[in-house]
Amino acid sequence: MNKNTRLITIAVDGYSSSGKSTMARRLAAAVGYRYIDSGAMYRAVTLYALDNGLISTDGEPDKAAIVSALPEISIDFAVQPDGTQHTLLNGVDVETEIRRLRVSNAVSPVAAIAEVRRALVAMQKKMGERKGIVMDGRDIGTVVFPDAELKIFVDASPETRAMRRFKELVEKGSQVSYEDVLSNVVHRDHIDTTRDESPLRRAEDAISLDNSLMSLEEQDAWLLKQFNKVLQFG
């Protein structure tokens, strides 16, 4: 990258299964920026809690125990030879583990703990200190980087997101119905937007993108246009 090019901060927020991680990763690769999946950090804390018996069998997290364990949890990202990033929990590659259903099912209540959010947000702010970063999540444009030069809010319809998730699950061999996936998407949207701590909402200065009818290539082109606009005029 040209040394004189101004580095900016890019925040990508949106609903679950909106394709925001794919979008953020591709944009980061296209402009040579670092990509951070903030959801992976909430998943890593959840994995630690599960493996250390800090979440009951009915999914209730032991908040006090998780909060006091926070100083013992370190999270890093390691870039792989193929350019993808793997999440490290206390130095161990947990990328596969954190994507499993046991973590997906337990992560929402852990991500709702105020002290967990405070600790992870502080780490995320530090990662973004030198700019040149694309981070995706739920509160990136509102809480983590309120001054980000470019904020995208991804906004596909619940039906489109449910269909994407349904296809992914069927490809992985799951026997699920589209109706069940749709009601799960609607339920998660409700939890994400109504929780007390940093609920998902669009930052006032975010650009909305409804990618329901866009191909990946069209989306890439749209993102690059927004990026170049900020560098030119922002």
Q: Segment contacting ligand DC (CB under 6 A): 34-42, 53-61, 160-168, 204-212?
A: 34-42
Q: What is the largest CA-CA distance in the chain?
A: 54
Q: Binding ligand DC by CB under 6 A: which of 12, 24, 31, 43?
A: 43
Binding track, positions 71-110, relative to ligand DC; x by CB under 6 A:
------------------------------------xx--
Burial (CB count <10 Å: 0-12, 13-18, 19+), residue 201: middle
Residue 146 or 234: which CB sits closer to ligand DC? 146
- Taking CB under 6 A as the rule, does residue 19 contact ligand DC? no
- Taking CB under 6 A as the rule, does residue 151 contact ligand DC? no
- Taking CB under 6 A as the rule, does residue 138 contact ligand DC? yes
Provide the angle, in degrees to the nearest 10, between the axes of the packed helices 216-233 and 20-31: 50
- Taking CB under 6 A as the rule, does residue 16 contact ligand DC? yes
Residue 95 or 139: which CB sits closer to ligand DC? 139
**Full DSSP string of 29-83:** HHHT-EEEEHHHHHHHHHHHHHHTT-B-TTS-B-HHHHHHHGGG--EEEEE-TTS
Query: What are the distances in angstroms from CA 165 to CA 16, 170, 171, 174?
Result: 10, 9, 10, 11
Q: Binding ligand DC by CB under 6 A: which of 14, 19, 61, 137?
A: 137
Contacts to ligand DC by CB under 6 A: 16, 38-39, 42-43, 107-108, 111, 137-140
